[in-house]
Amino acid sequence: MDTPFTPAFKNVEIITIGDEIVNGQIVDSNSAWIASFLNRSGFEVNKITSVPDNAQAIFQALDSALAGSGIVLMTGGLGPTKDDITKHCLCTYFNTKLVFNQAVYDNMTELFNKRGLWAINSFNRSQAEVPEACTVIINRKGTAAVSWFEQDGKILVSMPGVPLEMMWCMEKEIMPRLLSKVQSHPIIQRYIWVKGYPEAVLAEFISDWEDALPPELKLAYLPQRSVMLLRLTAKNSDETRLNELLDSHLDKLKSLLGTAIFAEGVKSLEEALGQVLSNKGLSLALAESCTGGAVGARLTRAPGSSAYFLGGIISYANQVKQELLAVPELILQTKGAVSKEVAEAMANGVRIKLKSDIGIALSGIAGPTGGSIGKPVGTVFIALADSEQVMCRKFEFQSDRIGNIEQAVHQALILLLDYLYL
Amino acid sequence: MDTPFTPAFKNVEIITIGDEIVNGQIVDSNSAWIASFLNRSGFEVNKITSVPDNAQAIFQALDSALAGSGIVLMTGGLGPTKDDITKHCLCTYFNTKLVFNQAVYDNMTELFNKRGLWAINSFNRSQAEVPEACTVIINRKGTAAVSWFEQDGKILVSMPGVPLEMMWCMEKEIMPRLLSKVQSHPIIQRYIWVKGYPEAVLAEFISDWEDALPPELKLAYLPQRSVMLLRLTAKNSDETRLNELLDSHLDKLKSLLGTAIFAEGVKSLEEALGQVLSNKGLSLALAESCTGGAVGARLTRAPGSSAYFLGGIISYANQVKQELLAVPELILQTKGAVSKEVAEAMANGVRIKLKSDIGIALSGIAGPTGGSIGKPVGTVFIALADSEQVMCRKFEFQSDRIGNIEQAVHQALILLLDYLYL
């Protein structure tokens, strides 16, 4: 296994294993993390497959992946319980058997001692049994080891599905080995945020520019509801040339679109807004009712958000709206908590209370209950106040509770964006 | 197309199409939603595949899906821009061509009129061109139509990737047609929340019970970090019998595990905690610093959370900690904002300010910057106060910003759980 080795081709397929993925119990966020992490090191993912904890499904996925890709990365199905069958399947597939591995067992003992409390039982002990015909890599964050197979010029790696363990294994153990075995090529991505153009209008407007892109550059439209994120990906050349190509074509795009571009170089709308707020030196506070903190959570995903985000008040109960946000009881009684007047009073109240330049407030009915004929489930008022004015928008979202909250969060960001460019 | 029709087998494969999925730009949440929605109607998903906007990859995915499943549901690649190629691929694959569809165009006109502002351009108009050899289904929430193909006893449906449009199409158009064509069978799932047992210990403890499960029942362990969610799935019989089997085996499990079961019938930890808080008649308020509202957002995902969650204060800036939460300036200066003392003062402060039974507070360093030698990135203090006591836990998470926040949110819920059962 120490001889130089290059997979037949460096494209990667990801296989995630687990009943909970294919029945929709959980969203498979491991794949996206792995794909993004691989991309940054110049690897490309050409397929992601999720299959249940079922031997036949796992064998078919292995066949298909190894036929189509040089590198196959698998997660999941390595736990100590009876529904975890991945390593048994790998033994069958690679015609090998499980053997006890002392190093894996020692790592397990160490983890158990560090965490205290429980003794290793037979279920745990079975996790120290690993396929014989592979390189075993110790997972320092958990009890399931990584198995690294090489066969017919291809690499197959099976790793745990617990996200933190998977991330540690990818960063510390798997990526360094991949990079030592596979010549990767740079992939450079640039991001541009555009407001005010529906997708098709933008596509038509920049059509000539897009048609003139060299084969090394590829444009993608990534609509974020009412704003557009453009991604320009450069590959198949050296880094210097790719950066030159990106610079020159992005310069042309910028002169075409002018001030419709409101941010660049960041992947999320909250980071894009953070750029604008920082540049303008404005601070922000939130008063959240139906969203329960989700707008604040979204804003603080952006690193450095403390430069412009002061905080907020989650006024889920009416008493909190009155006492902390100074919403007059009379307005609450006559207009109701879900109203333009209350949202505006909340926005102003939080702005004054937290001494921010801008206050944003949301009040609505996320559902599934609480709706009425005049104010159905999905009704949300979003208000923005500065020291001179208050504006408010009314929405009637038609999704479920989670979807209504998510849309309200997005529309709060859009209201802020529109305000910043009014 | 109106003749009775039954796919060769009723298993479903989902194909999601988009460069942004395989390069990790977005997490494919459509698949999980579709899978969960199908499950509730008795359909089972046996594979989920994600491929880039690339004809060869799409053809291979189609081949594999149609070989393995009776029903194939695809999302994505139906936008008006040049990177969207799904319907061209479907035409090649099914040996047909694109034709202009007046009903799709009329729907587009109506949507454009309703939303105002822009005229339909050539890019939009191209969305009214649909494959000739399929049943076209109008998508009332967007401009991309649904294509429904039937061939060799199988069904293939291509729908838009925009989540809200996809959900509307699935609920209003696709599922009713699937149910009219395919005999589905009930799948019933029950959920049990268990605390205090690591996975392997629990597995050993309930091993005899698990071994005695009839073939109609399947157990899955879904660890949520330090608590365990058990899912019991019942299928391959009629609803009455499945419910009887579930009742009798769950009764046995409950007498085995006793008070280690803290909630049942709900899928998320926040709903499980909501059950406990409601049962005990306790109210809760939050003071969030590094999490920026994420704990509140998590709690309010649970329907009916207003019964126990009063709200909170997002004290991102120190000034807010002092003025709204009454954290003494001296403590902030001597101990630092990220400290046991400040977290405890915040928990007590928010409890008193919002007049709740319980106050929970978080203060920490999410990263990527702001760490120091004594308090590295990932250090988070989480405190809980009631009228008689304050408790605090210190964590040193080792993930990135988003991961550290996510773990802090989870640990805040675990602290609450432990408090409720102390």
ipTM of the complex: 0.82
What is the DSSP code (8-state) at residue B162? S
Together in a domain, B343 and B284: yes
Query: What residues of chain A, 74 to 113, have a C-beta less than 8 Å from chain B?
Result: 79-83
Together in a domain, A303 and A170: no
pLDDT value for A1: 38
Suggest the residue from B17, B22, B286 to mutate for an interface test with chain A (most A CBs closer than 10 A). B22
pLDDT value for B1: 38
Q: Give the span between the Cα atoms of B217 and A245, in whole angstroms.
A: 58
pLDDT value for B3: 42
Q: Give the span between the Cα atoms of B242 and B237, in whole angstroms.
A: 6
Give contacts of B45 with chain A, Cβ < 8 Å: 22-24
pLDDT value for A136: 96
B412 has a chain A CB within 8 A of its CB: no
Any domain includes A382: yes
Any domain includes B102: yes
CATH number for the domain including A361? 3.90.950.20
Beta bridge partners of residue B16, listed in sequence order: B50, B75
Mean pLDDT of chain B: 91
Using the 3D structure, point to which of B264, B297, B316 is the last residue of a domain: B264
Binned at pLDDT 50, 70 and 90, residue B6 comes out as: low
pLDDT value for A39: 86
Q: Is the peptide bond before B215 cis (omega within 30 degrees of 0)?
A: no
CB-based contact A293 B294, cutoff 8 Å: yes
- Is this structure's pTM higher than 0.90? no
pLDDT value for A2: 40
End-to-end CA distance of chain B: 63
A334 has a chain B CB within 8 A of its CB: no
Q: Yes or no: say if B377 and B366 are a contact pair by the CB < 8 Å rule.
A: yes
Q: Give the number of residues written for chain B.
A: 422
Together in a domain, B232 and B105: no
pLDDT value for B122: 77
pLDDT value for A277: 96
Together in a domain, A66 and A119: yes
Q: Give the span between the Cα atoms of B230 and A401, in whole angstroms.
A: 24
Q: Give the number of residues written for chain A.
A: 422
Together in a domain, A313 and A404: yes
- Asked if pLDDT for residue B5 goes beyond 70, the answer is no
Residues of chain A below pLDDT 70: 1-9, 116-118, 422
Any domain includes A1: no
Task: Determine if residue A281 is left, alpha or beta; phi over 0 gives left, psi from -120 to 50 gives alpha, anything else beta.
Answer: left
pLDDT value for B4: 44
Give contacts of B83 with chain A, Cβ < 8 Å: 218-221
Q: Yes or no: say if B289 and B346 are a contact pair by the CB < 8 Å rule.
A: yes
How far A389 CA lies from chain B's nearest CA (Å)? 24
Q: What is the extent of the structural domain holding B193? A: 188-264
Q: Give the span between the Cα atoms of A420 and B8, in whole angstroms.
A: 56
Together in a domain, A290 and A217: no
pLDDT value for A164: 86
Query: What residues of chain A, 272 to 311, have a C-beta less than 8 Å from chain B?
Result: 286, 288, 290-297, 299-301, 303-306, 309-311
Together in a domain, A35 and A167: yes
Q: Give the span between the Cα atoms of B145 and A69, in whole angstroms.
A: 33
Mean pLDDT, residues B160-182: 92
- Asked if pLDDT for residue B296 goes beyond 60, the answer is yes
**In Å, what is the CA distance from B198 to each residue of A79, A150, B174, B263?**
11, 34, 42, 17
pLDDT value for B112: 82
